[in-house]
């Protein structure tokens, strides 16, 4: 646990919900609440292949199919906004079902504690961080 980072966060307040409660248990709950949007930066290639719409895939040219299979054959594929999955996927599929499936799969919510790499924050962690 990075108590200095936790202390700084407690002083600054949650970027979405504001000041943390004075009660340490409530503040810990606020830190652990999954309410922060997060884009998964990479996915296994096979996961992208699983998200491919079969009808859209069948409509591809042989060259496009080969390109998509080459990309999804990688262990890890960059799924960030400017990553290879979007660049190649949008070029091949456009804004269809496959693009929507991938967009949904790469978007999730995390807690502020996870976002700050603090792990699970407990009341005792909050008490200690506030005391240092």
Model confidence pLDDT, tens digit, residues 72-82: 999 998 888 77
Residues 6+ apart with CB under 8 A from 57: 65, 68, 98
Model confidence pLDDT, tens digit, residues 30-50: 999 999 988 888 889 999 899
- Asked if pLDDT for residue 101 goes beyond 90, the answer is no
Q: What is the pTM of this model?
A: 0.65
Q: What is the mean pLDDT of residues 113-119?
A: 94
Closest of 41, 122, 126, 32 to residue 76, by C-alpha: 41
- Asked if pLDDT for residue 83 goes beyond 80, the answer is no
| pLDDT tier, 106 (very low <50, low <70, confident <90, very high otherwise) | confident
- Asked if pLDDT for residue 117 goes beyond 90, the answer is yes
pLDDT number for residue 25: 96
Query: What's the DSSP call for residue 132?
Result: -
Tell me the average pLDDT of the chain: 90
């Amino acid at each position: 646990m990075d108590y200095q980072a936790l202390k700084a966060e407690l002083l600054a307040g949650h970027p979405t919900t504001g000041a943390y409660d004075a009660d340490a248990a409530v503040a810990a709950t606020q830190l652990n609440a999954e309410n922060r949007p997060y884009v998964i930066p990479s996915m296994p290639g096979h996961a992208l292949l699983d998200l491919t719409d079969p009808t859209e895939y069948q409509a591809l040219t042989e060259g496009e199919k080969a390109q998509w299979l080459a990309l999804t054959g990688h262990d890890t594929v960059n799924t960030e906004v400017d990553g290879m999955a979007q660049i190649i996927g949008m070029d091949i599929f456009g804004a269809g079902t496959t693009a929507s499936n991938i967009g949904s799969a790469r978007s999730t919510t995390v807690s502020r504690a996870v976002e700050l790499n603090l792990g699970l924050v407990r009341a005792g962690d909050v008490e200690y961080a506030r005391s240092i």
